[in-house]
């Protein structure tokens, strides 16, 4: 029986402290306990700094809080690279600051972690009313399947917890809000590409392409590692995604599978 690796759960976060509190609460109730958390803040928000200083010792897991020293705009990939450098474990799991993890989220990543594989999951889309209710009550108790079925939430098939049986065999693209990989594989491709300074593509499509070109395969975590996405208005524009896709195509043509501006840029 293989040993389970310690995890580093990296939360990409931006100015949504009430969301972050729910995520940390859910992480405090995980069935698997051997993990650390890095709050990877793409900002420098005094409110978040104050909360972390006053509350980080109240959780049953170690927390690091990293942030921009000055607000340079969208620099999610830079912060993710800083988080890779700061991590103290071999396996890294990535979620976003609007995604609340299921109680077996960490357990499933620890169980399924495998050298040579990208683990990818999906998210349950909580409706606006359901999200407001959860945030108002400051409780994660309403995230059971029955409660969600009687709400305005969507993609409820992804809320079915099925650790041993795959409910879908279709492979889908990587989503930056729910995936994991061994750190050594990220180091091999020089981490996230910091040329992407707009949201979308750079933190999922680009890194998936480079990891696969480096020989990795994909393993589904659908219905195993579940996250519940809190409703909010879309925060990025189609034009930015279009420009990022153009940038990705340029990088593919140049075969920059090891990005030029990644982890090495931090040295």
What pLDDT, in 10s, does the model give residues 168-225?
778 888 898 999 999 999 999 999 999 999 988 889 999 999 999 999 999 999 999 9
The whole-number average pLDDT for the span 234-253 is 88
Q: Phi and psi (nearest 5°) for 241?
A: -65, -40
Cα gap 84→9, rounded to integer Å: 10
The whole-number average pLDDT for the span 224-233 is 93
Beta-sheet strands, E only, within the chain: 7-13, 35-41, 63-67, 91-96, 99-101, 117-120, 123-125, 178-182, 217-220, 227-229
Long-range pairs, 242-246, Cβ under 8 A, ≥24: 243/198, 244/196, 244/198, 244/200, 244/201, 244/202, 245/201, 245/205
Q: What mean pLDDT is reported for the chain?
A: 93
- What's the full length of the chain, in residues? 267
How much is the pLDDT for 202? 85
239 within a domain of the structure (yes/no): yes
Query: Structurally, how many domains does the chain consist of?
Result: 1
Q: Domain containing 173 — which CATH number?
A: 3.90.550.10
133 within a domain of the structure (yes/no): yes
The whole-number average pLDDT for the span 80-91 is 97
Report which of 77, 3, 14, 83 is spatially closest to residue 42, judged by C-alpha positions.
Answer: 14
Between 31-35, 57-61, 173-177, 244-248, the lowest mean confidence (pLDDT) is in 173-177
pLDDT at 51 over 90: yes
pLDDT at 2 over 80: no
Report which of 11, 184, 210, 28 is spatially closest to residue 95, judged by C-alpha positions.
Answer: 11
How much is the pLDDT for 171? 84
How much is the pLDDT for 262? 97
Confidence of residue 236 (pLDDT cuts 50, 70, 90): low
The whole-number average pLDDT for the span 44-60 is 94
179 within a domain of the structure (yes/no): yes
Cα gap 121→176, rounded to integer Å: 9
250 within a domain of the structure (yes/no): yes
2 within a domain of the structure (yes/no): no
51 within a domain of the structure (yes/no): yes
Cα gap 131→118, rounded to integer Å: 30
228 within a domain of the structure (yes/no): yes
pLDDT at 1 over 70: no
pLDDT at 266 over 90: no
Which domain does 181 fall in, by range? 7-266
Cα gap 148→177, rounded to integer Å: 20
pLDDT in tens, 129-146: 999 999 999 999 989 989
1 within a domain of the structure (yes/no): no
């Amino acid at each position: 029986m293989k040993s389970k690796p310690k995890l580093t759960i990296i939360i990409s976060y931006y100015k949504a402290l009430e969301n972050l509190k729910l995520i940390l609460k859910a992480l405090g109730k995980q069935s698997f306990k051997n993990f650390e958390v890095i709050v990877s803040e793409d900002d420098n928000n005094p409110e978040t700094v104050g909360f972390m200083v006053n509350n980080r010792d109240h959780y049953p897991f170690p927390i690091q809080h990293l942030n921009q020293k000055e607000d340079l705009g969208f620099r999610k990939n830079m912060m993710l690279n800083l988080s890779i450098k700061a991590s103290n474990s071999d396996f890294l799991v990535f979620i976003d600051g609007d995604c609340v993890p299921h109680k077996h989220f960490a357990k499933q990543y620890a169980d399924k972690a495998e050298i040579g594989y990208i683990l990818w999951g999906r998210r349950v889309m909580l409706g606006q009313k359901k999200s407001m209710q959860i945030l108002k009550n400051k409780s994660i108790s309403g995230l059971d399947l029955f409660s969600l079925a009687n709400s305005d939430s969507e993609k409820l098939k992804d809320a079915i917890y099925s650790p041993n049986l795959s409910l879908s065999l279709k492979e889908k693209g990587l989503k930056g809000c729910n995936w994991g990989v061994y750190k050594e594989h990220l180091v091999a491709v020089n981490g996230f590409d910091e040329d992407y300074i707009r949201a979308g593509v750079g933190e999922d499509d680009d890194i998936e392409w480079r990891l696969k070109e480096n020989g990795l395969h994909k393993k589904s975590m659908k219905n195993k590692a579940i996250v519940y996405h809190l409703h909010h208005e879309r925060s990025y524009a189609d034009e930015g995604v279009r420009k990022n896709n153009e940038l990705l195509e340029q990088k593919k043509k140049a075969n920059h599978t090891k990005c030029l501006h990644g982890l090495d840029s931090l040295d």
